[in-house]
Structure 1
Amino acid sequence: MIPLVLMAGFLGAGKTRFLSELVPQLAARGTRVRIILNDFQNARVDAARLGALEALVTPLNGECVCCGSLRELLQTLYDVPPDPGSVMIIEANGATETDELLGHLTTDTRLAHFTLPLQLTVVDAARWQKRWWHNALERAQVNTATHLLLNWTHKLDAARRVAVQGAVRTENPRAPFVETASFAEWLHALAAHVQHDAQQVGRGTGLQAAAPRSRAERAPHEHPFGSIALPLPSLVSRRAFEQFVADLPEQVVRAKGLVRFADEPGPMYVWNRLPGSSRVRLDASWPHADAMPTALFIGVALPIDALTDAITRLGDMAPPA
């Protein structure tokens, strides 16, 4: 099994620069590196910057890997041969919606030769939250991270650095801050760990996540992301469903599925919880004959019992047909 790392960060955060420092440190530890590099018609330029490193680099020009280039990205991952002792790093372009991409990387059963995705977000400390209407996207890229790296801190005075680090920590209280050497050591250890014990970080079967365990019970490299698909009641109260979505626990990074409402039992809607919001979005759907109302949750240490109980209460509140 191969560790899969999504590297995110806003435009100019320094992702490629970080890779140019990380890859030699991994190589020195005997860990082979594959890189998929996505950018807006610029991927081959950045790939050339990494060409001298001991890494196999695949450039993906075009749109974000979370949308327009997604199929090409997934096909590239499908085609990677088993290579124990290596790591795969996806450098996403700065406009990537990480929660959407994590949803695909977490639930695609054809990626069983990879671990569930880690996410390192590189934060441009000098420009943190100075991006006008893009501030929400920058925060969202931090929110889904499993590891954080503060870049360009040499441009800041001590007070600003402390303020930025505190703001990033408030946005994501779970992910540790790392430096190049510490992250290289951690990835090297993870590659060795999954090479010998794939079960501890494996994807399992289907979309069913393993029951969450306490921090003390987890293996040193147990993966934080998981996913689970749970059936919804055949009909639900619209108002109760909106409240159910609003009350989803903070561990849920992505939530979507299919739903039918008691006040309009004919159509089935695709529902999504909007990123960074407690609101639910409903879109028309044309489901297959065997499609059933369902809820897909992707997140960190998912509280499966609590989610199951919430769905049970949702069914109890459904008006009689």
Structure 2
Amino acid sequence: MEAIITVVGFLGAGKTTLLKSLINSYVAKGWNPFVILNDYENANMDAQQFMDQMSPQCIKPLSGSCICCSGIMELRNTVNNIPERKHGITLIEANGTSDACALMEFLGVGLDSRFLPPIQISVVDVEHWQQRGEHNELEANQIQVSSLLVLTHLDKVIDTRKREVISQLQHLNATAKIIPMDDLDVLLLPELMPSKNAVQQLDHIKAHWASCSVDLPNLPNATYIHTLCNALPKHLLRVKGCTVLGDDTNYTYFERTPSGEVHIRPFNGVPITGSKLLTIGPGSDPSALEQLITAMLLKD
């Protein structure tokens, strides 16, 4: 039977980093992973980042619908239509504001008998855990029915902070195994049991945020990316985009995490939607983004 592993966690916690590590490890050990990605605006952009690790036929992006509610039927149908493979394993990365408890409740119903009951991994950003203000409840919800809690950003905290966070996690989920990402043994994941924890229900509207995307012109250099990201309001908790810089013939990917850090790296291939700027968070508005881009370029 084939295991299904869902990866959840707050925006910027490190879900994609974990997923890439899982893919590399499973492929190296002779497994055949199938990956499903869910994002607000453009999961196709995220999907292309995995093309150097696995075949495009084994990656399915789901954009727009929230897989913890309105998109659950599409997710379930996608899983049931995954081709059978020797040593197959299915990995699902949920968007950063998914209602993780609802996702596990709905996903486990109506799956083909060749699949094991799904298990959930929650990625926990130790540095920023429960420092999200009004979004703390959503972040706490995302670990309640996880079988494994993977700790990230440990290099940025002292041991006292790590122990404090682990204590809070154990209070919210006493049955989950808690490990740093570096200690993850992928061969043990399919053997994890689904959580049977009772959960504290989340007001589901808290898992639905505004999002939008707009076309982004080519930019002269990386400085413009930093200028753009710094100009965007802080209540936009997730910013990412793809563009061409200067005379470069390749695309560049960038993102701003909820903590305000800006990361820039090469993009794998050519985005099927062209250059884009995407935002997630209250107040995401296409016209406001377009005005900001225009004002930035006019200052040049």
Question: Per the shorter chain, which TM-score range?
Answer: 0.5 to 0.7
- CA–CA distance in 1 between the matches of 2:13 and 2:109? 28
Q: 1:49 matched to which residue of 2? A: 49
Q: 1:40 matched to which residue of 2? A: 40
- CA–CA distance in 2 between the matches of 1:163 and 1:31? 37
Does the CA-based 8 Å contact 2:120-2:194 persist in structure 1?
Answer: no
Task: List per-residue Cα deviations over 1:188-207 (Å, max 9, x = no partner).
Answer: xx3xxxxxxxxxxxxxxxxx
2:75 to 61, 73, 87: 73
- CA–CA distance in 2 between the matches of 1:52 and 1:103? 33
Q: 1:182 matched to which residue of 2? A: 184
The CA deviation at 1:276 is 6.0
- Map 1:151-162; keep pairs closer than 5 Å: 151-162=152-163
Paired letter, 2:35 = I
Q: 1:23 matched to which residue of 2? A: 23
Q: 2:102 matched to which residue of 1? A: 100
- Where 1:137 maps in the other structure, the secondary structure is helix
- Map 1:1-321; keep pairs closer than 5 Å: 1-54=1-54, 56-108=58-110, 110-178=111-179, 179=181, 182-187=184-189, 190=190, 221=191, 223-225=193-195, 251-253=197-199, 275=201
What TM-score, normalized to structure 2?
0.62
Task: List per-residue Cα deviations over 1:25-60 (Å, max 9, x = no partner).
Answer: 111111111110000113112111111113621111
Paired letter, 1:97 = D
What TM-score, normalized to structure 1?
0.58
Identity of aligned residues (%): 31
Does the CA-based 8 Å contact 1:32-1:87 persist in structure 2?
Answer: yes
- CA–CA distance in 1 between the matches of 2:86 and 2:173? 31
- Where 2:142 maps in the other structure, the secondary structure is helix
Tell me the matched-pair count: 200
Task: List per-residue Cα deviations over 1:223-280 (Å, max 9, x = no partner).
Answer: 3347xxxxxxxxxxxxxxxxxxxxxxxx334xxxxxxxxxxxxxxxxxxxx6169xxx
The CA deviation at 1:185 is 2.4
Relative distance call for 1:183 and 1:276 in structure 2 (3 A) is farther
Paired letter, 2:198 = V
Task: List per-residue Cα deviations over 1:59-95 (Å, max 9, x = no partner).
Answer: 1111320123222211111211222411101100011
Does the CA-based 8 Å contact 2:32-2:86 persist in structure 1?
Answer: no
- CA–CA distance in 2 between the matches of 1:180 and 1:114? 28
Q: CA RMSD in A?
A: 2.0
Does the CA-based 8 Å contact 1:22-1:180 persist in structure 2?
Answer: no
The CA deviation at 1:148 is 0.7
Q: What 5-or-longer segments of structure 2 have no aligned partner?
A: 204-300
- CA–CA distance in 1 between the matches of 2:132 and 2:163? 19
**Larger Rg: 1 or 2?**
1
